[in-house]
């Protein structure tokens, strides 16, 4: 058995160290009856590293700004985050670039900067490095 990450074995508050992944696309009906329109949706899965609890957030599409809003909703419901672990998905990379660009501006307070959240990316082609 491989060595476990220290974030998985050290005691901490629930949902302070979280692994993130996007799943989907799912087709959802917008209304009932005739002329039904379908819309693609995605889900963002947040998994706690210490106790393995899951939290799902629905996304309208897989863009980085939609992911940022789901991350903010998650942190307001579950408390402040310390560390995020994710793969190198394009929406995650785009989100971190947008958040860093906003963070460099002094007039705008940023979510990652104000809450001091560390974001760790798995190496490319190695999903097992996240530990979950």
- Report d(CA 63, CA 90) in Å as an integer: 9
1: in domain: no
Q: Is residue 57 part of a domain?
A: yes
Torsion of CA 29, 53, 88, 73, to 10 degrees: 60
Which tokens is 97 given? 């670039």
Please enumerate in sequence order all residues whose Cβ is within 8 A of that of 79, keeping only pairs 6 or more positions apart, or say none.
13, 15, 16
Is residue 105 included in any domain, yes or no?
yes
Residue 16 φ/ψ, nearest 5 degrees: -90, -30
Rounded to the nearest 5°, which phi and psi values hold at 94? Answer: -65, -35
Q: What is the pLDDT of residues 68-90, one digit of tens each?
A: 888 888 988 988 888 888 887 77
Q: What are phi and psi of 119, to 5 degrees?
A: -115, 120
In a domain, 51, yes or no: yes
Residue pLDDT, tens place only, 11-70: 888 888 898 888 888 888 877 777 788 888 889 899 988 888 899 998 888 777 788 888
pTM value is 0.77
The domain spanning residue 114 has which CATH number?
3.30.420.10
């Amino acid at each position: 058995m491989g060595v476990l990450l220290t974030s998985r074995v050290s005691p901490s508050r629930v949902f302070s160290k979280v692994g993130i992944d996007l799943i989907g696309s799912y087709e959802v009906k917008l209304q009932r009856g005739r002329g039904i329109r379908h819309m693609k949706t995605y889900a963002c899965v947040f998994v706690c590293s210490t106790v393995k609890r899951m939290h799902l957030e629905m996304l309208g599409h897989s863009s980085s700004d939609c992911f940022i809003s789901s991350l903010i909703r998650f942190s307001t419901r579950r408390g402040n985050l310390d560390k995020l672990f994710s793969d190198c998905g394009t929406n995650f990379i785009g989100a971190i670039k947008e958040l860093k660009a906003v963070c460099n501006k002094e007039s705008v307070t940023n979510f990652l900067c104000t809450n001091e959240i560390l974001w760790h990316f798995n190496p490319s082609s190695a999903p097992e490095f996240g530990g979950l």
